[in-house]
């Protein structure tokens, strides 16, 4: 049986399987030097938008400078218009009204620009992290919890974004105190010194608050990530949880994690309760001192009543910035902890990378050579040891071995999901380490024993590797995988949206869709990693009938557990404890290698247990 439209692409020129992302790429990245400070590392992202950012800060500063004029005008109005009758009061009213209008315009434009920069910054940082995660090797995901990554890509980014964009604005508002102090000095030097006498204590409180807030901010972000990890695992593993009636245990674990978060937040609130009143009320002490000494100076004729009112207005104007200073310190500590957690991810380097000068693997004939390949996962035991195996173009070779013998690992090494520790893997004489990763994975299709489907339509899942595929091509691939029958029986046919991970379908249905997805890409080299393990014998035979014609035109490496799958192979390789111990046809090995029959018997028992545990494939099959 042959599916129309599936073989034409095998003789065409190389087309990368990767799809160019259709979004505005970040104009800059994070500084990769881990020795630099957090601010210097994040600065390139802000510097790329420096002009809108600087304009926003400049207009904010201008708005505050204009506001600072008002108390001084109030002083002049009282002295010259109310008491001295030298200048009409309407003159100052008009000036204040104009200043109010200008402040409103500056504030509007400043905030519009600042919020635009803030959300663009967040967009860029989020996409940089996702691009980095998509480039990380499988070994990274073997040791990192997905909930931790989700937390760092969401709440941690938001903390950094808020601080990076709003901290300068708050600092400008706090810095306006310098301008106000200059105006106060121009009115009365002694009274200005009295008004600002509380500033050293305010500075000390801010430094102390910063010192004690950082550790608790780190703990909060880390414990929020732990909660995210638990939720993620329970949502994805809900069937396992319910199968073992462990709902109570999981709720208890989440309650413990939530209690740890609550403790951290309570500690954070306790620290804020200690320091925030100091930050907010010290300016009030300055106001009381101004009233005390200013009143004494008015009585003795040193300053006028207008000066006292102006000083009070200046101090009231400074209250909001100093209140925000406490918030800025808290934001800074949380952002600092979040930035450290983000940089922990960004500073990770992938193990599998393209070498300089890597070439595209263009339409290979399909000769695959494993030469003295050895491999271990990290510092673990050796999984593959000195394996040498050659697949001729168009040949189908079955890998047979006991569970844990390294069959799936060998398939992953061909795709460069991991790099070999020693030896080499070559396609048409070219080491896979010397070709670009997109071109390698475009020419080597894979179907695993645990197919993953996205929460999208059946057609979109089949066309995942070729989003531009026509509906006819999708149907042809589904027909070749013997999936067309059950798909047309679904509620909306090919437009039916499957649930998360495809759990609304049976295991066999998911695997047939995964096979169709690989066949649509139509690679010259195909890996079937126990791809029919969840399919009953009858349906498996139908798929095998469909695959026989297709496999004849491509090099295929089959991780086999069933005799029916082994029957598809031209040759069988027996893998024992990470070594190829024998190769030949199924009949030859059965007749000449006693251990081969033992392995088949052992594998048959495992498959029987696996099939017995699987749900039936009768739903629309």
Return the higher-pLDDT residue of 560 and 107.
Answer: 107
CA distance 327 to 279: 10
Over residues 308-318, mean pLDDT = 73
Question: Which of 317, 57, 80 shows the shortest CA–CA distance to 181?
Answer: 317
Q: Looking at the domain 38-346, which fold is it?
A: ABC transporter transmembrane region fold (1.20.1560)
CA distance 542 to 479: 11
Over residues 292-306, mean pLDDT = 77
Q: What is the pLDDT of residues 133-191, one digit of tens each?
A: 878 877 787 777 777 777 777 778 888 888 877 777 777 777 777 777 777 777 778 88
Return the higher-pLDDT residue of 568 and 54.
Answer: 54
Q: Is 85 left (phi over 0), alpha (psi -120 to 50) or beta?
A: left
Alpha helices in 529-585 (DSSP H): 537-551, 563-566
Q: What is the pLDDT of residues 2-30, one digit of tens each?
A: 344 444 444 444 444 455 556 667 777 78
pLDDT at 578: 85
Look up residue 585 and give its two tokens: 């046809």
Residues 6 or more apart from 134 whose CB is under 8 A from it?
none
Percent of the chain with pLDDT over 70: 83
Q: What is the pLDDT of residues 114-137, one digit of tens each?
A: 888 888 888 888 888 888 887 887
pLDDT at 244: 61
Torsion of Cα atoms, 20 then 23 then 27 then 30, to 10°: -80
Return the higher-pLDDT residue of 430 and 251.
Answer: 430
Q: What is the pLDDT of residues 572-609, one digit of tens each?
A: 999 888 888 888 888 888 888 888 888 887 655 554 44
Q: What is the pLDDT of residues 381-418, one digit of tens each?
A: 888 889 899 999 888 898 988 877 888 888 889 988 88
- Burial (CB count within 10 angstroms: exposed 0-12, middle 13-18, buried 19+), residue 404: exposed
pLDDT at 372: 92
Q: Which of 65-69, 91-95, 446-450, 609-613 has the lowest mean pLDDT?
A: 609-613
Q: Where are the domains of the chain?
A: 38-346, 368-613
What's 422-443 look like in SS3? EEEEEECCEEHHHECHHHHHHH
Q: Is the pLDDT of residue 616 over 50?
A: no
Q: 368-613 is classed in which CATH architecture?
A: 3-Layer(aba) Sandwich (3.40)
Per-residue exposure over 26-41, b if at least 16 CB sit within 10 Å of its own CB, e if not: beebbbeeeeeebeeb
Percent of the chain with pLDDT over 90: 5
Over residues 435-441, mean pLDDT = 86
pLDDT at 550: 59
Q: Is 161 left (phi over 0), alpha (psi -120 to 50) or beta?
A: alpha
Count of residues in the chain: 621
Q: Is the pLDDT of residue 494 over 60?
A: yes
């Amino acid at each position: 049986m042959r599916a129309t439209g599936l073989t034409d692409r095998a003789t065409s020129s190389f087309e990368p399987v990767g799809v160019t992302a259709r979004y505005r790429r970040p104009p800059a990245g994070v500084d990769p030097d881990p020795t630099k400070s957090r601010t210097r590392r994040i600065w390139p992202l802000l510097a790329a938008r420096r002009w809108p950012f600087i304009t926003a800060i400049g207009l904010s500063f201008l708005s505050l400078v204009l506001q600072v004029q008002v108390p001084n005008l109030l002083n002049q109005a009282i002295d010259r218009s109310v008491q001295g009758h030298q200048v009409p009061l309407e003159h100052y009213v008009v000036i204040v009204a104009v200043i109010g209008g200008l402040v409103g315009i500056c504030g509007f434009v400043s905030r519009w620009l600042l919020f635009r920069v803030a959300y663009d910054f967040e967009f860029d940082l989020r996409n940089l992290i996702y691009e980095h995660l998509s480039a990380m090797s499988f070994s990274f995901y073997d040791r990192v919890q997905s909930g931790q990554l989700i937390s760092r890509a969401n709440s941690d980014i938001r903390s950094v974004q808020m601080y990076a964009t709003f901290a300068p604005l708050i600092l400008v508002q706090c810095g306006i105190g310098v301008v106000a102090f200059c105006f106060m000095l121009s009115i009365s030097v002694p009274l200005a010194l009295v008004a600002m006498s509380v500033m050293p204590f305010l500075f000390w409180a801010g430094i102390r608050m910063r010192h004690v807030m950082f550790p608790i901010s780190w703990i909060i972000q880390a414990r929020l990530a732990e909660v995210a990890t638990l939720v993620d695992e329970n949502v994805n593993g809900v069937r396992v949880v319910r199968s073992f009636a462990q709902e109570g245990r999981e709720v208890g674990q989440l309650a413990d994690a939530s209690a740890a978060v609550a403790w951290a937040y309570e500690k954070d609130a306790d620290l804020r309760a200690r320091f925030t009143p100091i930050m907010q009320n010290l300016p009030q002490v300055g106001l009381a001192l101004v009233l005390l000494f200013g009143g004494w100076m008015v009585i003795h004729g040193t300053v006028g009543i207008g000066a006292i009112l102006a000083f009070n207005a200046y101090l009231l104007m400074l209250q909001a910035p100093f209140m925000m200073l406490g918030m800025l310190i808290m934001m800074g500590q949380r952002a600092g902890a979040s930035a450290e957690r983000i940089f922990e991810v960004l500073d990770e380097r992938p193990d599998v990378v393209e070498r300089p000068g890597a070439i595209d693997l263009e339409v290979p004939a399909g000769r695959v050579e494993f030469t003295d390949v050895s491999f271990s996962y990290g510092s673990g035991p050796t999984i593959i040891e000195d394996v040498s195996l050659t697949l001729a173009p168009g040949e189908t070779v079955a890998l047979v071995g006991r569970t844990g013998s390294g069959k799936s690992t060998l398939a992953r090494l061909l795709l460069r999901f991991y790099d070999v520790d020693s030896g080499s893997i070559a396609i048409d004489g070219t080491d896979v380490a010397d070709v670009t990763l997109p071109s390698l994975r475009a020419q080597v299709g894979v179907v695993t024993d645990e197919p993953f489907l996205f929460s999208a339509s059946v057609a979109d899942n089949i066309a995942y590797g070729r989003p531009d595929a026509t509906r006819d091509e999708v149907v042809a691939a589904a027909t070749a995988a013997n999936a067309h029958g059950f798909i047309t029986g679904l509620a909306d046919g090919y437009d039916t949206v499957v649930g998360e991970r495809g759990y609304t379908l049976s295991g066999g249905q998911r695997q047939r869709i995964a096979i169709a997805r690989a066949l649509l890409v139509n690679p010259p080299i195909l890996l079937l990693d126990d791809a029919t393990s969840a399919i009953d014998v009858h349906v498996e035979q139908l798929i095998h009938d469909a695959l026989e014609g297709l496999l004849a035109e491509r090099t295929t490496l089959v991780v086999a557990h069933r005799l029916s799958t082994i029957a598809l192979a031209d040759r069988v390789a027996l893998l024992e404890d990470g070594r190829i111990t024998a190769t030949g046809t199924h009949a030859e090995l059965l007749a000449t290698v006693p251990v081969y029959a033992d392995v088949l018997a052992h594998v048959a028992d495992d498959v029987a247990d696996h099939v017995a545990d699987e749900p039936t494939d009768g739903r629309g099959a």
